[in-house]
Amino acid sequence: MKQIALYGKGGIGKSTTSANLSAALADTGCDVMQIGCDPKHDSTRMLMHGEWIPTVLDLVREKGDRIGVDEVVFEGYGGIRCVEAGGPDPGIGCAGRGIIATFQLLQKLDALYGDVIVYDVLGDVVCGGFAMPMREGYAQEIYLVTSGEFMSLYAANNICKAIARLSKRSKAKCALGGVICNAKNIPGEEELVREFADMVGSRLIAYIPRDGVVQVAEVNQQTVIEFAPDSAQAAVYRHLAETIQTNTETSIPTPLEMHELEALARKHIPV
Ligand code: SF4
Protein backbone atom coordinates (compact mmCIF):
# COMPACT_ATOMS: atom_id res chain seq x y z
CA MET A 1 0.00 0.00 0.00
CA LYS A 2 1.35 3.43 -0.97
CA GLN A 3 0.56 6.12 1.61
CA ILE A 4 1.16 9.50 0.05
CA ALA A 5 0.46 12.99 1.31
CA LEU A 6 0.07 16.22 -0.59
CA TYR A 7 1.19 19.13 1.57
CA GLY A 8 1.01 22.77 0.62
CA LYS A 9 -0.17 26.23 1.54
CA GLY A 10 -3.90 26.85 1.94
CA GLY A 11 -5.52 27.97 -1.33
CA ILE A 12 -2.74 26.56 -3.52
CA GLY A 13 -5.03 23.93 -5.08
CA LYS A 14 -4.10 20.91 -3.00
CA SER A 15 -7.64 19.59 -2.81
CA THR A 16 -8.21 19.99 -6.55
CA THR A 17 -4.90 18.27 -7.24
CA SER A 18 -5.59 15.51 -4.70
CA ALA A 19 -9.11 14.82 -5.97
CA ASN A 20 -8.00 14.70 -9.60
CA LEU A 21 -5.04 12.52 -8.69
CA SER A 22 -7.30 10.11 -6.78
CA ALA A 23 -9.80 10.03 -9.66
CA ALA A 24 -7.04 9.35 -12.19
CA LEU A 25 -5.63 6.57 -9.98
CA ALA A 26 -9.10 5.04 -9.55
CA ASP A 27 -9.55 5.05 -13.33
CA THR A 28 -6.51 2.79 -13.62
CA GLY A 29 -8.23 0.22 -11.38
CA CYS A 30 -6.48 1.29 -8.18
CA ASP A 31 -8.28 0.93 -4.85
CA VAL A 32 -7.99 4.50 -3.52
CA MET A 33 -8.82 6.24 -0.25
CA GLN A 34 -8.62 10.01 0.14
CA ILE A 35 -8.44 11.63 3.57
CA GLY A 36 -8.84 15.39 3.82
CA CYS A 37 -6.81 16.80 6.72
CA ASP A 38 -7.79 20.42 6.38
CA PRO A 39 -10.30 22.19 8.68
CA LYS A 40 -11.98 23.51 5.50
CA HIS A 41 -13.15 19.92 4.92
CA ASP A 42 -13.64 20.32 1.17
CA SER A 43 -10.95 17.89 0.02
CA THR A 44 -13.30 15.19 -1.21
CA ARG A 45 -16.26 17.34 -2.28
CA MET A 46 -15.77 17.00 -6.04
CA LEU A 47 -15.31 13.24 -5.69
CA MET A 48 -18.64 13.26 -3.78
CA HIS A 49 -20.39 15.36 -6.48
CA GLY A 50 -20.64 18.42 -4.26
CA GLU A 51 -21.82 16.66 -1.12
CA TRP A 52 -20.33 17.87 2.17
CA ILE A 53 -19.71 14.64 4.04
CA PRO A 54 -19.79 14.67 7.85
CA THR A 55 -16.40 15.18 9.42
CA VAL A 56 -14.84 12.73 11.85
CA LEU A 57 -14.28 15.48 14.40
CA ASP A 58 -17.95 16.56 14.30
CA LEU A 59 -19.07 12.96 14.76
CA VAL A 60 -16.63 12.34 17.60
CA ARG A 61 -17.93 15.50 19.30
CA GLU A 62 -21.50 14.28 18.86
CA LYS A 63 -21.22 10.57 19.55
CA GLY A 64 -17.91 9.88 21.27
CA ASP A 65 -16.30 6.75 19.87
CA ARG A 66 -19.53 4.88 19.04
CA ILE A 67 -19.09 5.50 15.33
CA GLY A 68 -19.46 2.97 12.54
CA VAL A 69 -17.32 2.90 9.42
CA ASP A 70 -20.30 3.88 7.21
CA GLU A 71 -20.67 7.12 9.15
CA VAL A 72 -17.19 8.38 8.28
CA VAL A 73 -16.16 6.66 5.05
CA PHE A 74 -18.18 7.59 1.95
CA GLU A 75 -17.91 6.17 -1.50
CA GLY A 76 -17.26 8.72 -4.22
CA TYR A 77 -16.26 8.73 -7.89
CA GLY A 78 -14.65 5.49 -9.07
CA GLY A 79 -15.28 3.77 -5.72
CA ILE A 80 -12.84 6.13 -3.94
CA ARG A 81 -13.33 5.96 -0.17
CA CYS A 82 -13.59 9.54 1.08
CA VAL A 83 -12.98 10.81 4.62
CA GLU A 84 -12.82 14.35 6.03
CA ALA A 85 -11.04 14.87 9.36
CA GLY A 86 -12.64 18.27 9.95
CA GLY A 87 -11.51 20.91 12.42
CA PRO A 88 -12.38 22.76 15.60
CA ASP A 89 -14.71 25.73 15.94
CA PRO A 90 -12.75 28.90 15.17
CA GLY A 91 -10.89 30.15 18.22
CA ILE A 92 -11.20 26.93 20.23
CA GLY A 93 -9.27 23.68 20.21
CA CYS A 94 -6.64 22.20 17.95
CA ALA A 95 -7.00 21.30 14.28
CA GLY A 96 -4.41 18.61 14.78
CA ARG A 97 -6.80 16.86 17.15
CA GLY A 98 -9.18 16.18 14.28
CA ILE A 99 -6.40 14.49 12.37
CA ILE A 100 -5.32 12.40 15.36
CA ALA A 101 -8.94 11.41 16.15
CA THR A 102 -9.50 10.49 12.51
CA PHE A 103 -6.50 8.21 12.21
CA GLN A 104 -7.17 6.50 15.53
CA LEU A 105 -10.77 5.88 14.57
CA LEU A 106 -9.98 4.63 11.06
CA GLN A 107 -7.38 2.31 12.46
CA LYS A 108 -9.81 0.97 15.07
CA LEU A 109 -12.36 0.39 12.32
CA ASP A 110 -9.76 -1.36 10.12
CA ALA A 111 -10.56 1.18 7.41
CA LEU A 112 -7.03 2.14 6.38
CA TYR A 113 -6.46 -0.14 3.43
CA GLY A 114 -6.27 -0.05 -0.37
CA ASP A 115 -3.59 0.35 -3.02
CA VAL A 116 -3.09 4.06 -2.39
CA ILE A 117 -4.13 6.35 0.47
CA VAL A 118 -3.98 10.03 -0.44
CA TYR A 119 -3.70 12.38 2.55
CA ASP A 120 -4.53 15.96 1.63
CA VAL A 121 -2.90 18.10 4.33
CA LEU A 122 -2.80 21.84 4.95
CA GLY A 123 0.78 23.05 5.17
CA ASP A 124 0.75 26.76 6.02
CA VAL A 125 1.95 25.84 9.47
CA VAL A 126 3.79 22.64 10.12
CA CYS A 127 2.87 22.46 13.78
CA GLY A 128 2.65 19.17 15.61
CA GLY A 129 -0.99 18.81 14.60
CA PHE A 130 -0.56 19.10 10.85
CA ALA A 131 2.70 17.16 10.90
CA MET A 132 0.81 14.28 12.54
CA PRO A 133 0.39 12.17 9.35
CA MET A 134 4.18 12.28 8.87
CA ARG A 135 5.09 11.98 12.52
CA GLU A 136 3.05 8.88 13.16
CA GLY A 137 4.24 7.03 10.06
CA TYR A 138 1.03 7.33 8.00
CA ALA A 139 2.23 9.63 5.26
CA GLN A 140 5.35 8.07 3.83
CA GLU A 141 5.84 9.80 0.48
CA ILE A 142 5.30 13.52 0.67
CA TYR A 143 4.52 15.62 -2.40
CA LEU A 144 4.76 19.38 -2.09
CA VAL A 145 2.18 21.39 -3.99
CA THR A 146 3.36 24.91 -4.66
CA SER A 147 3.11 27.72 -7.15
CA GLY A 148 5.87 30.20 -7.90
CA GLU A 149 4.46 32.65 -5.35
CA PHE A 150 6.87 33.40 -2.57
CA MET A 151 4.54 32.48 0.28
CA SER A 152 3.70 29.12 -1.18
CA LEU A 153 7.41 28.34 -1.68
CA TYR A 154 7.98 29.52 1.88
CA ALA A 155 5.34 27.02 3.10
CA ALA A 156 6.84 24.26 0.93
CA ASN A 157 10.29 24.99 2.39
CA ASN A 158 8.86 24.76 5.92
CA ILE A 159 7.39 21.37 5.08
CA CYS A 160 10.88 20.32 3.91
CA LYS A 161 12.16 21.35 7.35
CA ALA A 162 9.52 19.16 9.00
CA ILE A 163 10.33 16.16 6.77
CA ALA A 164 14.06 16.53 7.44
CA ARG A 165 13.48 16.74 11.18
CA LEU A 166 10.91 13.94 11.38
CA SER A 167 12.89 11.57 9.18
CA LYS A 168 15.27 11.08 12.11
CA ARG A 169 12.50 9.61 14.27
CA SER A 170 11.93 5.89 14.26
CA LYS A 171 8.13 6.00 13.98
CA ALA A 172 8.08 8.50 11.11
CA LYS A 173 8.92 6.98 7.75
CA CYS A 174 8.44 10.10 5.65
CA ALA A 175 10.53 11.23 2.71
CA LEU A 176 9.99 13.70 -0.08
CA GLY A 177 8.66 12.15 -3.30
CA GLY A 178 8.70 15.31 -5.39
CA VAL A 179 7.39 18.80 -6.02
CA ILE A 180 4.24 19.62 -7.99
CA CYS A 181 3.93 23.08 -9.52
CA ASN A 182 0.29 24.14 -9.54
CA ALA A 183 0.79 27.17 -11.72
CA LYS A 184 -0.59 30.64 -11.15
CA ASN A 185 0.71 31.69 -14.55
CA ILE A 186 3.55 33.81 -13.24
CA PRO A 187 6.28 34.35 -15.87
CA GLY A 188 9.20 32.00 -15.28
CA GLU A 189 7.20 30.01 -12.75
CA GLU A 190 8.10 26.51 -13.93
CA GLU A 191 11.84 27.29 -13.89
CA LEU A 192 11.55 28.85 -10.44
CA VAL A 193 9.76 25.84 -8.93
CA ARG A 194 12.08 23.42 -10.75
CA GLU A 195 15.12 25.18 -9.31
CA PHE A 196 13.54 25.20 -5.85
CA ALA A 197 12.95 21.44 -6.12
CA ASP A 198 16.57 20.86 -7.20
CA MET A 199 17.92 23.05 -4.41
CA VAL A 200 16.05 21.14 -1.69
CA GLY A 201 17.36 17.87 -3.14
CA SER A 202 14.22 16.74 -4.94
CA ARG A 203 12.70 17.15 -8.39
CA LEU A 204 9.75 18.73 -10.13
CA ILE A 205 7.46 15.82 -10.96
CA ALA A 206 4.59 17.76 -12.55
CA TYR A 207 3.73 21.16 -13.93
CA ILE A 208 -0.02 21.73 -13.81
CA PRO A 209 -0.98 24.72 -15.96
CA ARG A 210 -3.80 27.01 -14.95
CA ASP A 211 -6.80 26.03 -17.05
CA GLY A 212 -10.39 27.31 -16.94
CA VAL A 213 -11.72 23.77 -17.26
CA VAL A 214 -10.88 23.23 -13.57
CA GLN A 215 -13.37 25.92 -12.50
CA VAL A 216 -15.99 24.71 -15.00
CA ALA A 217 -15.66 21.15 -13.67
CA GLU A 218 -15.97 22.41 -10.10
CA VAL A 219 -19.10 24.40 -10.89
CA ASN A 220 -20.44 21.10 -12.18
CA GLN A 221 -19.30 19.49 -8.89
CA GLN A 222 -16.91 17.08 -10.54
CA THR A 223 -13.21 16.54 -10.95
CA VAL A 224 -11.70 17.36 -14.35
CA ILE A 225 -11.04 13.62 -14.77
CA GLU A 226 -14.78 12.96 -14.61
CA PHE A 227 -16.12 16.13 -16.24
CA ALA A 228 -13.69 16.51 -19.13
CA PRO A 229 -11.78 13.23 -19.45
CA ASP A 230 -10.54 14.11 -22.95
CA SER A 231 -9.19 17.55 -22.01
CA ALA A 232 -5.50 18.43 -21.94
CA GLN A 233 -5.83 19.15 -18.21
CA ALA A 234 -7.18 15.64 -17.52
CA ALA A 235 -4.13 14.27 -19.35
CA VAL A 236 -1.88 16.31 -17.03
CA TYR A 237 -3.55 14.80 -13.95
CA ARG A 238 -3.33 11.30 -15.45
CA HIS A 239 0.36 11.80 -16.08
CA LEU A 240 0.81 12.96 -12.47
CA ALA A 241 -1.01 9.82 -11.26
CA GLU A 242 1.22 7.58 -13.36
CA THR A 243 4.37 9.33 -12.14
CA ILE A 244 3.34 8.99 -8.49
CA GLN A 245 2.17 5.40 -8.92
CA THR A 246 5.53 4.33 -10.32
CA ASN A 247 7.77 6.65 -8.29
CA THR A 248 10.44 4.87 -6.29
CA GLU A 249 12.69 7.90 -5.87
CA THR A 250 12.44 9.76 -2.59
CA SER A 251 14.83 11.98 -0.69
CA ILE A 252 15.30 13.64 2.65
CA PRO A 253 15.18 17.32 1.70
CA THR A 254 17.72 19.98 2.54
CA PRO A 255 15.59 23.05 3.29
CA LEU A 256 16.78 26.46 2.22
CA GLU A 257 17.78 29.30 4.48
CA MET A 258 15.54 32.35 4.22
CA HIS A 259 18.16 34.38 2.30
CA GLU A 260 18.56 31.53 -0.24
CA LEU A 261 14.81 31.38 -0.77
CA GLU A 262 14.65 35.15 -1.25
CA ALA A 263 17.58 35.12 -3.67
CA LEU A 264 15.90 32.36 -5.68
CA ALA A 265 12.66 34.33 -5.92
CA ARG A 266 14.53 37.50 -6.95
CA LYS A 267 16.37 35.59 -9.66
CA HIS A 268 13.17 34.38 -11.32
CA ILE A 269 10.51 36.96 -10.57
CA PRO A 270 11.03 40.15 -12.59
CA VAL A 271 10.93 43.23 -10.39
S1 SF4 B 1 -0.87 21.66 17.18
FE2 SF4 B 1 -1.20 23.07 15.48
S3 SF4 B 1 -3.40 23.06 15.15
FE4 SF4 B 1 -3.02 22.22 17.18
S5 SF4 B 1 -3.16 23.99 18.56
FE6 SF4 B 1 -1.01 23.73 18.01
S7 SF4 B 1 -0.75 25.10 16.28
FE8 SF4 B 1 -2.95 24.75 16.47
89-137 residue pLDDT tens: 888 888 887 788 888 899 999 999 999 999 999 888 778 888 888 988 8
Q: Is the pLDDT of residue 222 over 80?
A: yes
What is the C-alpha to C-alpha distance for residues 117 and 60, in angstroms, rounded to an integer? 22
Q: Is the CB of 39 under 6 A from ligand 1?
A: no
CA separation for the pair 256, 13 (Å, rounded): 23
The residue whose CA has the least distance to atom 1 of ligand 1 is 129
Mutation to probe ligand 1, out of 38, 57, 130, 135 (largest number of atoms < 8 A from CB): 130
To the query of whether residue 40 is one of the catalytic residues in this protein, the response is yes
Q: Does residue 127 have its Cβ closer than 6 Å to ligand 1? A: yes
Atom 7, ligand 1: residue with shortest CA distance: 127
Over residues 222-248, mean pLDDT: 97
- Which position among 2, 40, 161, 184 bears the catalytic label? 40
Beta bridge partners of 64: none
Average confidence (pLDDT) over 20-25: 98
pLDDT band at 87 (very low <50, low <70, confident <90, very high): confident
The phi and psi torsions of 228 (rounded to 5 degrees) equal: -135, 65
Average pLDDT for residues 16-37, to the nearest whole number? Answer: 97
Under the banding of pLDDT at 50, 70 and 90, the label for residue 71 is very high
Per-residue pLDDT tens over the stretch 145-194: 999 999 999 999 999 999 999 988 877 789 999 999 999 988 899 999 99
Range with the poorest average pLDDT among 82-86, 169-173, 174-178, 234-238: 169-173
**Annotated catalytic, 2?**
no
Whose C-alpha lies nearest to ligand 1, atom 4? 94
Give the model confidence (pLDDT) of 127-151 as tens digits: 888 888 898 889 999 999 999 999 9
**How are strands ordered across the β-sheet holding 32-37?**
74-75, 81-84, 32-37, 116-122, 2-8, 141-146, 175-182, 204-208
- Burial annotation 134-167 (CB, 10 A radius, 16+ → b, else e): bbbebbbbbbbbbbbbeebbbbbbbbbebbbbbb
**Mean pLDDT of all residues in 22-26:** 98
- Which of 27, 38, 120, 124 does the annotation list as catalytic? 124
- Report the distance separating Cα 34 and Cα 81, nearest Å: 6
pLDDT band of residue 61 (cuts 50, 70, 90) is: confident
Are the CB atoms for 142 and 134 separated by under 8 Å? yes
Q: How far is CA 118 from CA 14, 55, 232, in A?
A: 11, 17, 23
87 Cβ below 6 A of ligand 1: no
93 lines ligand 1 (CB under 6 A): no
Ligand 1 centroid–CA 210 distance in Å is 32
Closest ligand 1 atom number to CA of residue 95: 3
% of the chain with per-residue pLDDT over 70: 99
* CA 94 to centroid of ligand 1, rounded, Å: 5
User: pLDDT averaged over the chain?
Assistant: 93
Q: Which of 40, 127, 134 to mutate to test the pocket of ligand 1 (most atoms within 8 A of CB)?
A: 127
User: Which pLDDT belongs to residue 166?
Assistant: 92
pLDDT at 25 over 80: yes
Mutation to probe ligand 1, out of 7, 92, 94, 121 (largest number of atoms < 8 A from CB) = 94
Range from 23-32, 38-47, 232-241, 252-261 carrying the lowest mean pLDDT: 38-47
pLDDT value at position 271?
Answer: 66
Ligand 1 atom at shortest distance from the alpha carbon of 93: 5
Burial 198-214 (b: 16+ CB within 10 A, else e): ebbebebbbbbeebeeb
Asked if residue 134 lies in contact with residue 174, where contact means CB atoms within 8 angstroms, the answer is: yes
